[in-house]
Amino acid sequence: MIDINHRRVHTNGIWMHIAEKGQGPLVLLIHGFPELWSCWKYQINHLAEHGYHVVAPDMRGYGDSDSPQDPESYTIFHLVGDLIGLLDELGEEQAFVVGHDWGAQIAWNLCLFRPDRVKALVNLGVAYMPRSPELKPTEIFSKLYGEGFYISQFQEPGVAEKSFSKYDSLTVLKKLLLVNAPDIIAAPAGVEIIDFLHTPSSLPEWVNLEDLQSWAEKFNATGFTGALNYYRAMDK
């Protein structure tokens, strides 16, 4: 991560930490759950070397960015607003946008709300989910997959945090990021999702233990409430 610059910018009422490198057209990299800006470190270096100004924020609730405790502060309007404020702070009218997981969901809605600020979009892992005032995603998930579905288990403030606390942060990250389960991540009745998920005995070649340990240190400091609040505001 040599020569990657770090600073905090004020956007949409919060302080957001960003990592940036390079000069040229702006590429905005948006991480997912439960990740940090540094999940993009290889892409940051590669894109900067090829003539782009690359910016990867710690999203609201993560890492060195502000982490409001109230789930009401994590609606999609807050999350998109953070990025619009970031573009304004950077003095950029448009950006190439890349999103992964929750970052993809935010990026889809950024394009929906403010297409004038997006030059092009690349999304990974999450398809576009249309919004409707008549349909609540959490209710649909519960009906389809049951109350053991991970999103359903994340809804009640404090419950998932308590179950996560039985493990160190590194183990929690391994369980969540390296899921060895069917496509539908749902625990049996009466079982916490974090207990249900397998802890891998070894890491795949593409995962760096040092990176995971650095993420774990951040989550040791911040806890997981900010990250979980994204799910608690899904219906807003």
The DSSP result for 171-230, as a single string, is HHHHHHHS--S-SS-BPPTT--HHHHS---SS--TT--HHHHHHHHHHHHHH-SHHHHHH
Report pLDDT digits (tens) over 84-94. Answer: 999 999 999 99
49 pLDDT more than 90: yes
1 pLDDT more than 60: no
187 pLDDT more than 80: yes
Query: Pick from 97, 131, 165: which residue ends a domain?
Result: 131
Task: Please name the residue that has the structure tokens 């359903």.
Answer: 152
Report pLDDT digits (tens) over 108-117. Answer: 999 999 999 9
State the amino acid at position 181 in one-letter form: A
What's the whole-number average pLDDT of the chain?
96
Q: What predicted TM-score, i.e. pTM, was given to this entire model?
A: 0.96
Cβ atoms of residues 195 and 98 within 8 Å: no
Domain count, the chain: 2
159 and 73 together in one domain: no
Task: Please name the residue that has the structure tokens 């991540």.
Answer: 185
- In sequence order, the β-bridge partners of residue 28 are 55, 97
Query: Pick from 100, 131, 162: which residue ends a domain?
Result: 131
117 and 31 together in one domain: yes
Structural domain boundaries enclosing 142: 133-236
171 and 120 together in one domain: no
Determine the 3-state secondary structure of 149 from DSSP. Answer: strand
User: Residue 66: its pLDDT value, please?
Assistant: 99
133 pLDDT more than 90: no
Task: Please name the residue that has the structure tokens 């519960």.
Answer: 142
125 and 171 together in one domain: no
139 and 65 together in one domain: no
